[in-house]
Amino acid sequence: MIIKQEPMSIAEVKGMLTEEKTEMEKFVKTFTKMKPDEAKKMREDLDKLEIIKMKPETIVKVIDLLPEDASDLNKIFIDVSLNEDEINKILGVVKTYK
């Protein structure tokens, strides 16, 4: 039974996995270098920006992909257009976690 459905970054999933070596754990370790506590803090920092256009799903993608520039960021935000100030704020947060 699903009790709650919430988007999670790969790093956050990594923090929830058990000690046993599963296919999921191998996948997660392959695709993220970020620690779960860093991902949680980054999510909080992105939430604090209070950019209405950022939905939980896009925040997770920002955490997973760690975009380096406006072009990368625009590939995540395909349904909305970010202005220069919003782009700079998001990229500023991302840079603190690289």
pLDDT at 38 over 60: yes
Residue 5 lies in a domain: no
Q: Is the pTM of this model over 0.85?
A: no
Domain count for the chain, please give it.
Answer: 1
Band the pLDDT of 19: cuts 50, 70, 90. Answer: low
CA gap 18, 74 in Å, rounded:
35
First to last CA, the chain: 37
Domain span holding position 28: 10-96
Rounded CA separation 82/84 (Å): 7
Decide if pLDDT at 20 tops 60: no
- Residue 27 belongs to a domain: yes
Residue 29 inside a domain? The answer is yes
18 and 42 Cβ atoms separated by less than 8 Å: no
